Amino acid sequence: MRRAVPVAAAVLALAAFPALADPHPEARRIVAIGGSVTEFIYAMGQQDRLVARDTTSYMPPEAMALPDVGYMRQLSAEGVLSVRPDLIIAEEGAGPPETVALLKSSGIPYEEIPSGASPGGVMAKAEAVAAVLAAPDPGVVAALKADLDAAAAAAAAVDEPRRVLFALSLQGGRVLASGSDTEAEAIIEMAGGQNAVTSFQGYKPLTDEAVIAAAPDVILMMDRGDGVIDLDAQRAELLGLPAIASTPAGKAGRVIRMNGLYLLGFGPRTGKAALDLHRALYGGG
């Protein structure tokens, strides 16, 4: 199992990054693309400079009042440019590539923030956003580091990690689950758990045999809290699947739900999310 390491060690890797961003103290019409980028901008008290955000930027709730330029991986140059930005701050992975190329050639500064599902990665993201904003950081980076270190200490104290199956959704009676090298696996390990499915990368539907072989102690699912999905009905459907019902998690009815952006966003709340997941897995205050 890959265990979380204290941020004091993880941030040593940041020296390997080139200069991540150029400062833009003059920018007053910023478009934020990527939920964690938007959260960092709000956390750093620079939200008055925002004129638009992408669909994944739904936290904090006040961000929803901003114009929406579309899903971060399916952007249109026209939509982004229509709000007349003087700076675009986008998380790595925004797209499609042709749209990003057009935005970069538009003459409007385009700053790409590195993504990374690890303590060092989220610290690099925080440092990059702070550098782009070129504004005093009200302790956000230091608070994030403290939270990540606390989560790492809690994870390191676990003697018998619980096996966690991250279920992204249910599709036709099958569980769409997280394999290795995903944000879900990263946050599970940061919380001191063990990903129950490591035979593939990314997300795939599991056969009944794969569910039984995974033998999860706990099932972890997302909750956007928007009321679109009947969570009680979905939980009942999940636990009613024969393969799930035969697992330790199914027999005990152990299903944990957490807000998707909080859990997997790798933004300013990530250390707290890891600690909350740790408490949900193992108890404690």
- Is it the case that residue 12 has pLDDT exceeding 60? no
DSSP string, the chain: ------HHHHGGGGGGS-------TT--SEEEESHHHHHHHHHTT-GGGEEEE-TT---SGGGGGSPB---TTS--HHHHHTT--SEEEEETT-S-HHHHHHHHTTTS-EEEEPP-SSHHHHHHHHHHHHHHHTS---SHHHHHHHHHHHHHHHHHT-SSPPEEEEEEEEETTEEEEE-BSSHHHHHHHHTT-EES--SSBSEEEPPHHHHHHH--SEEEEE---SSSS-HHHHHHHHHHSHHHHTSHHHHHT-EEEE-HHHHHS-STTHHHHHHHHHHHHH---
- Is it the case that residue 3 has pLDDT exceeding 90? no
| Residue 233 pLDDT level (bands cut at 50, 70, 90) | confident
pTM listed for this prediction: 0.88
Q: How far is residue 132's CA from residue 263's CA, in Å, rounded to a whole number? A: 25
| Residue 2 pLDDT level (bands cut at 50, 70, 90) | very low
The more confident residue out of 18 and 151 is 151
| Residue 224 pLDDT level (bands cut at 50, 70, 90) | low
Q: How far is residue 80's CA from residue 85's CA, in Å, rounded to a whole number? A: 8
pLDDT of residue 116: 87
| Each residue's pLDDT tens digit, 74-121 | 999 999 999 999 999 999 999 999 999 999 999 999 999 999 899 999
